[in-house]
Structure 1
Amino acid sequence: MKLTRRVFIQLTGSAALMVSAPTVLAQGLSVKRLPLPCRPAEGKWIGSACQGCTQYCAIEVFNQNGRATRVRGNQNSKGNHGFCCPRGHLLPQENYDPDRIKQPLKRTNPQKGRGIDPKWIPISWDEALDIVADKMVELRNAGEPERLLYLKGRYGNTSHALLYGTLTKLFGSPNNFSTSALCAETEKMGPGYTQGLFSYRDYDLGNSKCVVFWGTDPFASNRQVPNVISKLGELQKKGILITVDPRLSTAAAKSKEWLPILPGTDGALANAIAHVLLTEGLWNKDFVGDFADGKNLFVPGKTVDPQTFKENNTLGLITYWNEEAKDWTPERAAKECRLDAEQIRRVAKAMGQAAPNVIVWMGPGVCMNPRGTYTAMVVHALNGILGSVDNVGGTHDPVKSLSGKYPSMDKYIDELAKAHGKGKKIDGRGDLDMPAAMKAKLGSGVVTNNIANYMLENPDFVKVMISSWTNTPFAAADGKRWEKALAKVPFFVHMVPFPSEMTQFADIVLPSTFNAAEGMGAVTGFGSMHAWTSLQQPTCDRIWDVKQEENEVTWLLAEKLAKKGWPTLLNYYSTEFVDPETGARPTNEKEFQLITTKIASAPCWIRTSKPIPGDQINGWEDFRKRGMHNSAHQVYKKHWGGKFPTPSGKFEFVSGDLKKVLEAHAAKYNTTPDKILDACHYQAKGIKGWMPHYEEPLRHGEEKQYPFLFIDHKSRLNREGRSANLPWMQEFKKCDAGDRSWGDVLKINPIDAKALGIQDNDIVEISSPVGTIVTEVKLWEGVGPGTVAKAYGQGHWAYGQIAAKEYRKTPRGGNNNEILVDDYDRLSGTSCRNGGFTRVNIKKNSQKL
């Protein structure tokens, strides 16, 4: 039938009649459309927990005929209010990714390297675990268990205990590590060394009158995305939103004030805001205190006698003023930060007028740089000045979630494990130039990215490496070091759902469940003034031969090790683990999976005579049905009155803990705190070494050769790096401000592009002192002159048929980590990726992507 204008009009004109009766159309075509009955989709919502970020939102997955088809926030959740962010909605496509590893694999090509075919062959779980157990027992028999390295990535509570905490300790290796130091750990140093809280924070958004998103974009990434989005309307109505970020982020677009700061100068801006708050008399007197006679003696450039000021819940404010804040006028900070002095003053006054119902929400953009500890301290110190700590509408430490403890393993640690398990870890923590004092304790921070350096310097040390849910060659700065290091490991076992870049170096690949849909375990999270324990449980049928690495694989491996002469792990599991409901002990991996999950969550659902705080749950089956437990609401002002976990019991502007740490580390190496700080590349001297202050940015690359500051940021569709192989992620990538679908772009200011002779869509090389990547250009005024920005997530050369343009050969776009320099905030041990610490050069490239 030829469609003419006449026929088209006849078709559209009769559309209303088509539902109820046969309609004769042009040229004798007759169509009858019958009304279809409407009814709810047939299926069942099953509770689980998302692992798209470390918020671990409680979710529900819709099961239809054994398949996971849709996702929503758990309708019982007080943290996400029944919603989930875009990352959660990607879960079904990730679960059924056809490129998932479907059965155990064995490498047959001994050569390892980028682009080299491992020539895997499929093998059974029995054969795979036999090989792994043989290699492990060889280390024990040789008396060198410390040469086993375990590295964990995204994990649940059971993984932390059963793999990270148990396996290596009983085996006798001190070398168990997490990848947390690649993410955002330095921000914990701000609240840690001021108020004794080495943790991410919660925020009373529902009662806040002013929220400052500083180096974070919680509408798109980081934590609490569903919570923040749901609160946006009310926040804009009753308060003021402010964003400090060198890039026009989603948060900046939603804010009344955007301060496009020069990367790495956040400490100067924080000092200037503190300067205005104090000179204008806008500090919170209930929390901080006041001058004895009520007269404000904070005068620009002039010191204050500490005896004239009486502090309530703080310690050392006057010292901070005298040593640092008195000279940081808005005009001085404006020059340092490339901002407008009047805007700084206006923003500071807005914050002060809203106090104490203010949130200074600090993110990794502030402090994931070589001098980040002090930047984190000075930005978080604003919460102390404003009196928002523990206060209504302010910032809070997390409510404690309910979780059970696994039984002690101490009596199962044999003499070999005792002798070797306390040795020095190979990540360099505790070295003169790496205090890694994350919890006010020397050597308590993990230095994940430094492991590769040790392995390259000592290529014969690690003989067996086991890792789960990791991809350090892609996710770590200057990741090619990891490729070289992994190529030298004699035996490497990778437990993952997807064949990532790291998997290409594995000798044995063990396919893990996609835990949000197929696994079983318990995870905890917090947000919106509550905490929760979420149950991960099967929400669909497993369609491939995969196993949960946290509990199923550990049991099966323990059985193999017992058969080969090392029964300790199996004895511990089979003897000490008891079902808290039935009293049964495990006899196989499925029973062990269930029992470990029930132990981890038992305080949420075990019925006792005393009501538990928060949700009242009636037994295990009720817990499975609900899928989660909500805590009681946060308590306000619980640390006021000398109850902060600091040496003084107060919010400290002069940190007693940091002073002790630096003095102890100096004594260990027979030197001074000043020389320790110098060795760690900080500028501080004397008392400034243990107080909030501004440190000038430390940048890698000569400005003349590398004139641009590189800004790394995260996509709202980046499920911890595991969504790049999903068509949905690639299609909707344009939802990230300035980005494009199915591509990868470097965002550059039009002024800079014109000077370079670069136009929109041109292909460019981005070069740094450590590498070069190639991508397209997007002319965008959302970054200032002299800075360029690029979302992290593209540039995979493996990982799947979608993530890479040509699997194992051609990446889709460029990986930011290939141009980021390997450096650290050494007081925490955290890797650097923000603050413009890596300079880059931009050069037009004639090739086509």
Structure 2
Amino acid sequence: MEISRRAFIGGSVVAAILGAIGLKMRERRLDTIEEGRDKKVGPLVEGTWKPTGCLGCTSWCAKEAFIVDGRAIKIRANKVSKIHGGHDCPRAHLAIQQVYDPDRIKQPMKRTNPKKGLNEDPGFVPISWDEAMDILADKIMELRKNDETYKFAVFRGRYTNINGLLYSNLPKIIGSPNNISHSSICAEAEKFGPYYTQGYWNYRDYDVENTKYIICWGVDPLCSNRQVSHYLNVFGQLLERGVKIVTIDPKYSNTAAKSHVWMPVKPGQDGALATAMAHVILTEGLWSKEFVGDFKDGQNRFVTGKTVDEELFEENHTFGLVKWWNLELKDRTPEWAEEVCGVDSETIKNVAIEFAKAGPYAMVFMGGGSNMQIRGGYNSMAVHALNGLVGSVDHEGGTLTGRSPRLQSLPKPDDFMDEMAQRNSKKQKIDQRGYKEFPALKDGKSGGGVVTNRVADAILAEDPYKLKVILAYFCNFNYSCPETKRWHEAMAKVDFLAHCVTHYSEMSHFADLLLPSTHHSFEQMSSAAQKANSYTHLWINERLIDPVYDVKNPETEIPWLLGEKLAQKGFTNLLDYLKTYKDPETGKEPTNPLELELYTLKIRTQPIWDPAKYEETGNHGDKFNSWQEFIQKGIWNSAPYQFKKLWSNMPTETGKFEFYSATLKKALESHAEKHKTTVDDILKTCKYEAKGELAFVPHYEEPYMVGSKNDYPFDFIDAKSRLAREGRSANCSWFQEFKDSDPGDIKWGDCIKMNPDDAERLGLKDGDKVKVISPVGEVVTTLKLWEALRPGTVQKTFGQGHWAMGHIAAEDFAKRIPRGSNNNDIMAAEYERLSGSTAFYGSFRVRIEKA
């Protein structure tokens, strides 16, 4: 691809030189800039701090960018935020390297080679936006001509608060059911447990500032998960005031290094540890009497091995505790768990007792490590149920639901859906959600959730049909989904792919159109909300700089341009719909893409900035007098969280916190009835072992592992990088230079970590080049010996292995030689099927050989 790639990066060297000159002219000690003044050097730096935000991970922190002569030169936390204050994380600073990266896609490009494949040169050539939209509109009109609009799809990765325009409403108007998000390669199994115990399908907040005891389970808050900026700051305060911190993780994580106790559970065995801890809490009589209830005569009858009469226990705000004991917990002793999960029984007992005694000012902070496993759904329930046992649910110092900001819905598309659109948009979605083997039980509904990684198989099998036209944005499923070779084959099979991203990527290689995207932090209006510290904030930013290249906002500008082209070809519905996005202040309808962007943000956030809407939203938080005041401040903070409002008022079938999940029973029975079978058969199809009533309580399941122990002796641990902006940081030199900030990793390279005892047994030494072989593939990387890893496991950090993305991300960009290797190349496409989540943890084995 050497020639076409030269065309693709045309002007890169010149842009890099000019960029360097521009920065050199104003070079100062930028780390000391505060409110525009350089304290150490002295001279005034002429510039302005402007509010913005970061979508580099799911923390979605509020930021400020320092703008000098129309150029962003520094980024910092927005101290007005009540969820992270003025505290920052390392990721945000990489955004500046991203926006000015000379390897960005600079203008629309079209494919000239009709053949698609890893070894095919796409032959991209530059075109105008007018030609690009004309090509895309022709493809959509062809679908409409043939009554095949359901074969159109929108794929979404990261997004902003206005994503509904492109992601939901555009495909409906065209006539397709296919809006496919990245959610199930993110954390759906993590949401499964909280939903089927307390009716909450979302990420939790954690009141760490008022807690006395934290168990970080399968999560590394100092590295990943939500609100890294907040936790990086507050963890030091927790340690100072004597809060006990425990980390449960097979690897020695950033958080484990700051914890009092590290419990290196065997990968996949989280359910054994969780049920054993619940057993201890009950046999020791340490459950929360206020939240859970008590035996009517006050005598504790939870005795190892003995069943309990349900009539003897009176529950307060929970349901089914005694059922849970009788069905699962009575025999789950710490001694039993030690043999299964690899954590000694005394530690299990001590941590369980300390945790319960600290309750309700105690919490289990749960991440995906404990549940994004093939049999992880019940792990998710068991881990979260510990919060219920000690009464920390919706309690100070415990785990909270948080709240979403009061945003206004965008105009409905219904009136602009013709008969074809109404009919075709009701067809089965391409990801096979709701199939017998993919219940995807989001919000209790069969097929309610997405099964992102299954799309590749569906395309290859043409089941439920052949997908022909895809508009994808802010995603790179060819890199971020396990068993990547399936995605390469699937994208090669798709007739037409338009890919809207900032950087050429592995998915872009199979595209027919490259549509260069704005950078959310600087070049477009953006808005996003997140919760932490018992608050919610919403940040918003204007366009802070002129777009560096000829790029468009995928969520507003591209729909408008596409709408205009479709209207020229006789289909006016999309453009007519977009003209209903009227300015809330003036009533004017948009006449161009930038007006649509502005009005969409104003409509969506109107309950935040318009005093006339405050009465409708109740407990409002920050108040503004106008849109202008809101956009200038750039951030809204909610009112403080109100605790205990959910006690006996939970959106479950019983209204209680369910240790016996009537909510899950209803969902499973509904899915079974849909497929004319039994719940037992559904669970077997989904690779679970439970039968009968056990299916409705949190319980232990032996992990389902891909690869036999004899052929693949090491459990594989996928780890997150503290510098990865969701797999998009690798073309930043700062990412590569500071890559060793991930414990045990190396700069400008890639490695797999192994316990020295295992290496000695295999005759391997530190620094050896090794092959990592799984049942679905192999990669070559560097071996690093790492004592902070339990024997029998190997750990590799996700984030390297790009053969696209740019000259820094790849070892040789022109020849498609990656820097390091991608974990997903060797991970099988497996699922936690009850939630639809992709399995990343506790589900795979590998073997290591010298390369």
TM-score norm. by structure 1 comes to 0.94
Partner Cα distance (2:44, 2:85) in 1: 22
1:310 correspondence with 2:314:
yes
Distance in 2 (CA, whole Å) between partners of 1:765 and 1:597 is 50
Q: CA deviation at 1:125?
A: 0.4
Counterpart-to-counterpart distance in 2, 1:480 and 1:605: 47
Alignment of 1:222-233 (within 5 A): 222-233=225-236
| Counterpart pick for 1:718 among 708, 724, 734 | 724
Larger radius of gyration between Structure 1 and Structure 2: 1
Superposition map of 1:97-116 within 5 A? 97-116=101-120
Alignment-derived partner of residue 186 in structure 1: 189
Q: 5 Å matches for 1:136-215?
A: 136-159=140-163, 161-215=164-218
Alignment-derived partner of residue 6 in structure 1: none
1:413 maps to 2:384: no
Letter of the 1:567 partner, please give it: T
Alignment match of 1:738 (pick from 725, 741, 744):
744
Distance 2:629 2:792 in 1: 57
1:552 matched to 2:557: yes
The aligned residue for residue 495 of structure 1 is 500
Aligned partner of residue 442 in structure 2, secondary structure: coil
Q: C-alpha separation between the residues in 1 aligned to 2:614 and 2:191?
A: 35
Counterpart in the other structure of 2:838: 831
* Residue identity opposite 1:824 in structure 2: Y
Rounded to whole Å, the distance in 1 between the matches of 2:770 and 2:614 is 65
Q: Kindly indicate whether the alpha-carbon contact (under 8 Å) linking 1:796 and 1:803 is maintained by their aligned counterparts in 2.
A: yes
Q: CA deviation at 1:42?
A: 2.3
Distance 1:691 1:651 in 2: 12
Whether the aligned pair in 1 keeps the contact of 2:99 and 2:548 (CA below 8 Å) is no
Corresponding residue of 2:45: 41
Separation in structure 2 between the aligned mates of residue 610 and residue 71 of structure 1, nearest angstrom: 32
Is structure 2 residue 659 aligned with structure 1 residue 646? no
TM-superposition CA deviations, 1:601-656 (whole Å, max 9, x none) = 1111112385761112221111111111111111100111x201111110001111
Alignment-derived partner of residue 681 in structure 2: 675
Structure 2 equivalent of residue 12 of structure 1: none
- Contact preservation (8 Å) 1:403, 1:533: no
2:304 matches 1:297: no
Going from structure 1 to structure 2, the CA distance change for 1:260 and 1:40 (only over 3 Å counts) comes to farther
Residue 686 of structure 1, aligned match among 692, 699, 713: 692
Q: Contact 2:82–2:533 (CA<8 Å) still a contact in 1?
A: yes
- Assess if the C-alpha contact under 8 Å between 1:80 and 1:226 holds in 2: yes
1:247 aligns with 2:251: yes
Supply the distance in 1 between the matched residues of 2:183 and 2:160 (Cα, whole angstroms): 13
Unaligned runs of 5+ in 1: 1-34
8 Å Cα contact 2:607/2:614 also seen in 1: no
Is the partner of 2:665 in helix, strand or coil? helix
1:26 maps to: none
Per-residue CA deviations over 1:735-787 (Å, capped at 9, x if unaligned) read 11111111111000000000111100100000100000110010001111100
Query: How many Å separate the matches in 2 of 1:407 and 1:173?
Result: 18
SS at match of 2:612: coil
Q: Does 1:659 align with 2:665?
A: yes
Alpha carbon RMSD of aligned pairs, Å? 1.3
Task: Name the structure 2 match of 1:376.
Answer: 380
Q: How does 1:498-577 map to 2 (within 5 A)?
A: 498-574=503-579, 576-577=580-581
Contact 1:533–1:601 at 8 Å: present in 2 too? no
Query: What is the distance in 2 between the residues matched to 1:607 and 1:670?
Result: 53
Correspondent of 1:698 among 704, 711, 714: 704
In the TM superposition, what is the alpha-carbon distance from 1:40 to its structure 2 partner? 4.8
**Residue 130 of structure 1 is aligned with which of 127, 134, 142?**
134
Which stretch of the first structure deviates more once superposed, 383-392 or 48-57? Answer: 48-57
Structure 2 counterpart of 1:363: 367
Are the counterparts in 2 of residues 521 and 593 from structure 1 also a CA contact under 8 Å? no
Show the counterpart of 1:466.
471
Distance 2:162 2:227 in 1: 23
Moved more, 604-613 or 440-449: 604-613
Matched, 1:627 2:634: yes
Q: Does 1:334 align with 2:338?
A: yes
Alpha-carbon offset, residue 584 of structure 1: 1.2
Cα displacement string for residues 169-203 of structure 1 (whole angstroms, at most 9, x for unaligned residues): 11111111101111111110000000000111001
Given that 1:726 and 1:803 are in contact with CA atoms closer than 8 Å, whether structure 2 keeps it comes out as: yes
Q: How far apart are the structure 2 equivalents of 1:609 and 1:212?
A: 41
Q: Is the 8 A contact 2:607 2:613 kept in 1?
A: no
8 A contact 1:211–1:359 mirrored in 2:
yes
Deviations 1:814-840 (A, max 9, x none): 1000110101111111111111x1110
Letter in structure 1 aligned against 2:622: D
In 1, Cα distance between the equivalents of 2:225 and 2:159? 17
Contact 2:614 2:620 in 1 (8 A): no
Q: Which moved more, 1:546-555 or 1:227-236?
A: 227-236
Whole-Å separation in 2 of the counterparts to 1:402 and 1:84: 26
Of 386, 394, 410, the residue aligned with 2:390 is 386
CA distance in 2, matches of 1:163, 1:687: 43
Counterpart position of 1:757: 763
Cα deviation, residue 536, structure 1: 3.3
Structure 1 distance, partners of 2:670, 2:613, is 47
SS in 2 for 1:695: coil
Name the stretch that deviates more: 250-259 or 231-240.
231-240
Partner of 2:821: 814
- What residue in structure 2 maps to residue 9 of structure 1? none
In structure 2, distance between residues paired with 1:605 and 1:157: 15
Q: 1:578 to 1:36 in 2, by over 3 A?
A: closer
Cα distance in structure 1, aligned partners of 2:585 and 2:320: 52
Q: Does 1:585 align with 2:592?
A: no
Partner SS, residue 605 of structure 2: helix
Q: Is the 8 A contact 2:541 2:631 kept in 1?
A: no
Task: Report Cα offsets for 1:449-487 as digits up to 9, x if no partner.
Answer: 111001111298122111001111110000110001111
Aligned counterpart, 1:603:
607
- Please say if residues 605 and 617 of structure 1, whose CA atoms lie closer than 8 Å, have aligned partners that are also in contact: yes
1:335 is paired with a residue whose SS is helix
SS at match of 1:674: helix
- SS state at 1:608 partner: helix
Does the CA contact (< 8 Å) of 1:523 and 1:536 recur in 2? no
Tell me, in whole angstroms, the C-alpha distance in 1 between the residues paired with 2:124 and 2:413: 37
Cα offset for 1:400?
A: 2.3
Deviation for aligned residue 1:91: 1.1
Aligned residue identity for 1:136: I
Partner of 2:26: none
8 A contact 1:106–1:508 mirrored in 2: yes
Query: Shift in Å at residue 141 of structure 1?
Result: 1.1
Decide whether the 8 Å contact of 1:402 with 1:532 is kept in 2. no
- The structural deviation recorded for 1:529 is 0.8
Aligned residues: 807
Change (3 A) 1:37 1:186: closer
Residue 142 of structure 1 aligns to which amino acid in structure 2? Answer: N
Q: Which moved more, 1:194-203 or 1:84-93?
A: 84-93
CA shift for structure 1 position 265 = 0.4
Give CA-to-partner distance per residue, 1:15-67, whole Å, 9 cap, x none: xxxxxxxxxxxxxxxxxxxx996145321111112001122111111111111
Distance 1:36 1:792 in 2: 39
Percent of aligned pairs sharing the same letter: 49
